[in-house]
């Protein structure tokens, strides 16, 4: 049996189609759906209550973050496999069944990730290398990535040259659509709740790999993902959580190796956030001058 966990926060635009796609596309597999709502202010909860009677809904009194919300559902779930799914996703095929089958066939696999597509059908890069002392400065939200978007370090970290039509062993897969064996949670623990949003998936995959199990990308499982739909309001805040999460990751695993590096990383993150905030305000200012509607800076 599979437990499908969806964490929502103001997800009324997407949650209906997400859940409908699960029931429509998931074949020959017993599953339960648990939705954990992080105190949404829109009609997310109302939609689930009225339209999906078989979905188990857990309501939090405040937004406790992605990691902590998933942990609540994991502790109350009963599946042998746990599928984490963002509310802004739609299954394109029997993706959940395909992911489960790939794990059943190989007991050495601890976690799998699906092929993610944007809603226009283009590929979304959903696998990464683990961050290290070099590529952390060239990641997707880094200064150097913005200044030099085609640099080889960023391309390697983002696995841009990987052929996404074939299965690969990777370091980690995005938590937007990942499946984990329950026994892995029992072995390495669930999400580290010091991460509020972002990097918690990196941390969990790191522990799974450290335990000797594989992380595998499965291209036959296809899921469409409206990337960032839950966080588009508040670009700077998203960057803030991502950079804080990255700092915590390095402090947790690498600080004993190089204490000086921790200070350098901390300073780099501060500089990065200042630049991001400045650029965001500049876009708002230009839009106001041109009398255009203010859009989120990406």
Do the domain assignments include residue 88? yes
Digit-coded pLDDT (tens) for 218-260: 999 999 999 754 444 444 566 677 778 888 888 888 766 666 6
272: its two tokens = 């990065």
Do the domain assignments include residue 263? no
Do the domain assignments include residue 298? no
Range of the domain at 157: 2-229
Residue 19: exposed, middle, or buried by beta-carbon count in 10 A (0-12, 13-18, 19+)? buried
Which segment of 116-125, 189-198, 279-288 scores lowest on mean pLDDT? 279-288
How high is the pLDDT of residue 134? 76
Do the domain assignments include residue 169? yes
Q: How confident is the model at residue 147 (pLDDT cuts 50, 70, 90)?
A: confident
Do the domain assignments include residue 235? no
- pTM for the model stands at 0.85
The number of distinct structural domains making up the chain is 1
Do the domain assignments include residue 253? no
Q: How confident is the model at residue 198 (pLDDT cuts 50, 70, 90)?
A: confident
Q: Are 84 and 95 in contact (CB under 8 A)?
A: no
Do the domain assignments include residue 286? no
Do the domain assignments include residue 271? no
Measured distance CA(199)–CA(116) in Å, rounded = 18
Which segment of 21-25, 69-73, 118-122, 153-157 scores lowest on mean pLDDT? 153-157
Domain CATH for 49: 3.90.550.10
Q: How confident is the model at residue 131 (pLDDT cuts 50, 70, 90)?
A: confident
How high is the pLDDT of residue 234? 46
Whether the pLDDT of residue 58 is over 50: the answer is yes
């Amino acid at each position: 049996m599979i437990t499908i966990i969806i964490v929502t926060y103001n997800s009324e635009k997407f949650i209906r189609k997400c859940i409908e796609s699960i029931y429509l596309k998931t074949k020959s597999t017993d599953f339960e759906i648990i939705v954990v709502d992080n105190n949404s202010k829109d009609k997310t909860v109302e939609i689930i209550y009225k339209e999906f009677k078989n979905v188990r809904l857990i309501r939090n009194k405040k937004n406790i973050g992605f990691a902590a919300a998933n942990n609540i559902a994991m502790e109350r779930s009963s599946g042998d496999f746990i599928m984490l799914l963002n509310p802004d996703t739609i299954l394109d095929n029997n993706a959940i069944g395909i992911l489960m089958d790939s794990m059943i066939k190989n007991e050495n696999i601890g976690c799998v990730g699906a092929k993610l597509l944007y809603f226009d059908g283009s590929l979304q890069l959903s696998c990464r290398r683990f961050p290290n002392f070099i590529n952390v400065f060239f990641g997707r939200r880094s200064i150097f990535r913005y200044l030099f978007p085609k640099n080889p370090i960023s391309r390697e970290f983002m696995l841009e040259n990987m052929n996404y039509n074939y299965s690969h062993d990777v370091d980690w897969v995005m938590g937007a659509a990942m499946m984990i064996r329950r026994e892995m949670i029992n072995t390495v623990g669930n999400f580290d709740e010091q991460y509020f949003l972002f990097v918690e998936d990196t941390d969990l995959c790191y522990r799974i790999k450290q335990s000797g199990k594989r992380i595998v990308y499965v291209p036959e499982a296809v899921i469409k993902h409206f990337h960032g739909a839950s966080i588009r309001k508040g670009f700077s805040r998203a960057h803030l959580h991502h950079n804080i999460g990255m700092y915590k990751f390095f402090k947790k695993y690498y600080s004993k190796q190089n204490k000086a590096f921790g200070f350098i990383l901390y300073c780099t993150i501060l500089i990065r956030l200042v630049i991001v905030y400045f650029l965001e305000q500049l876009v708002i200012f230009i839009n106001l001058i041109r009398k255009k509607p203010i859009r989120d800076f990406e």
